[in-house]
């Protein structure tokens, strides 16, 4: 009965909102939408996110993508509390990547997406410990790079994919390498990034459609 009442309440609420919307339509964008309005929305979203517990591993790619956006907001918010939130999480991570049980997965781009944020925090605080673990990790990859091809298989070995063989890896991986090259002045990170980025693009990019395939469609 409680479930029925709850469902009925939700349905009635949706109907009410729909009816109101039909009577008083609100445009998605205002013609006078200004920078202050945008910052107000961004702040509300960021503050809500900070109050919401993270459910995945703190170094997981899902959170890495969040941090990348949050560090951009921190740069324009005029409030160091956002940097401090990110710094606290990074300290808990040991400024390192996510470690998987399978040693073959040490190359997985998802696991070092968080490096983007470490490097941006290093730009602000200039503490070498912030990039040291990630730099050592990237150096190991350069010294012993993945030797597999880019063929992507949806099998039990899905997560052992070693190279950037799916398109969203181009968000997870390359920025870390490019940012590391920028803050260290070492071209080797940029060279590695370019080589792997080109291999992925050659594999997944469809010149006729001007789009990237998601992953295994290129089998």
The CA distance from 186 to 132, in Å, is: 14
How many whole angstroms separate alpha carbon 96 and alpha carbon 135? 9
pLDDT at position 156 is: 52
Which numeric CATH code is attached to 35-218? 1.50.10.10
Predicted local distance difference test score (pLDDT) of residue 13: 37
For the chain, which residues score pLDDT lower than 50?
1-24, 155, 158-160, 218-219
CB 218 within 8 A of CB 203: yes
pLDDT value of position 29: 55
Longest dimension (CA), the chain: 66
What are the residue boundaries of the structural domains of the chain, listed by start? 35-218
State the pLDDT at residue 9. 40
Rounded to the nearest 5°, which phi and psi values hold at 154? -85, 75
pLDDT of residue 82: 98
What is the per-residue pLDDT across 26-51, written as a single tens digit (0 to 9) for each? 555 566 778 888 899 899 999 999 99
Give the rounded distance of the alpha carbon of 215 from its chain centre: 18
146, 162 in Cβ contact below 8 A? yes
């Amino acid at each position: 009965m409680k479930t029925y009442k709850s469902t009925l309440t939700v349905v009635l609420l949706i109907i009410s909102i729909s009816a109101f919307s039909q009577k008083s339509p609100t445009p998605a964008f205002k013609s006078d939408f200004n920078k202050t309005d945008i910052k107000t929305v961004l702040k509300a979203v960021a503050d809500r996110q900070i109050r919401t517990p993270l459910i995945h591993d703190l170094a997981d790619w899902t959170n890495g993508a969040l941090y990348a956006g949050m560090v951009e907001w921190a740069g324009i918010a005029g409030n160091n509390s956002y940097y401090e939130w990110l710094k606290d999480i990074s300290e808990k991570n040991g400024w390192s990547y996510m470690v998987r049980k399978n040693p073959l997965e040490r190359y997985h781009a998802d696991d070092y997406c968080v490096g983007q944020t470490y490097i941006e925090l290093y730009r602000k605080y200039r503490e070498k410990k912030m990039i040291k673990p990630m730099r050592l990790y990237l150096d190991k990859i350069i010294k012993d790079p993945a030797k597999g091809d880019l063929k992507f298989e949806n099998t039990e070995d899905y997560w052992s994919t070693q190279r950037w063989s799916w398109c969203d890896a181009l968000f997870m991986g390359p920025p870390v390498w490019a940012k590391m090259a920028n803050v260290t002045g070492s071209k080797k990170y940029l060279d590695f990034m370019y080589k792997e980025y080109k291999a992925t693009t050659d594999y997944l990019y469809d010149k006729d459609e001007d789009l990237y395939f998601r992953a295994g469609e290129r089998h």
